[in-house]
Structure 1
């Protein structure tokens, strides 16, 4: 089933709903869109920070601590 058919079927179903249920559908659509927006924003921030050269100098720095320096190991 392609996108246009799914949209048409969904709109047909929404048109059959009583007015009282339309606000619930609208709220749910707003929720779904906000999840998409949050995901896009999160991916953008991750890409921005991974592409950033701000902390690149740390790659050349030697490690100060190792696993042997731990006093206790947690599982």
Structure 2
């Protein structure tokens, strides 16, 4: 079934539902859309963070501590 046919079929089924059921379907569709928006935003943030040069200075930072500095090792 194509996308357009599926949409038409869904709309036809919605016509037979009560107002309260249509509201439930609308709320669920809004929920699904917000999940997609959240995923797009999260991926965008990951991309920005991975390509950002904000923390580039940390790559050239000298090591402050050595293994020999450890007084007690976790077991």
TM-score (norm 2): 0.77
Q: How does 1:4-43 map to 2 (within 5 A)?
A: 4-43=4-43
Unmatched tracts of structure 2, length 5 or more: none
Distance 2:33 2:17 in 1: 21
Following superposition, which runs of at least 4 residues in structure 1 exceed 6 angstroms of deviation?
none
1:12-43 alpha-carbon deviations (Å, 9 max, x no partner): 11111112211101110110111111111111
1:46-57 mapped onto 2 (5 Å cutoff) = 46-57=46-57
Partner of 1:72: 74
RMSD of equivalent CA atoms: 2.2
Q: Distance in 2 between matches of 1:62 and 1:7?
A: 60
